[in-house]
Amino acid sequence: AANNQQRIQELQSKGRLTQAERRELQQLRRDERQNPQQNLTPDQQKAASANNQQRIQELQSKGRLNNAERRELRQLQREERQNARLQ
């Protein structure tokens, strides 16, 4: 999970991504969402939460969202609510 987090951050901080890198980033995010954050250390939980919040902001600031983006936004918001209850 920590390696995924690190790679996600690398890809997010990079300017333009190739199609392969975009696909990798989507897969890493999907993996992160499917791995419950309860199994992470507190530092990893903070990093995961920060990434989720960053992605929520990106999606919310974007004009129109396609179906996949709307679904992703709802999932991220749901996770944030769950994490807030756990802390």
Place of tokens 């918001």: 77
CA distance 47 to 49: 5
Q: Phi, psi at residue 62, to the nearest 5°? A: -75, 145
Q: Residue 39: its pLDDT value, please?
A: 66
Whether the pTM exceeds 0.75: the reply is no
The number of beta carbons lying within 10 Å of the beta carbon of residue 76 is 20
Q: Enter the DSSP assignment of 40.
A: S
- Residue 36 has what pLDDT? 60
Helices and strands in the chain, H and E counts: 4, 0
| Local confidence pLDDT in tens for the 87 residues of the chain | 668 888 888 998 888 899 999 999 999 888 877 766 556 778 877 888 888 899 999 999 998 999 999 999 999 998 888 877 766
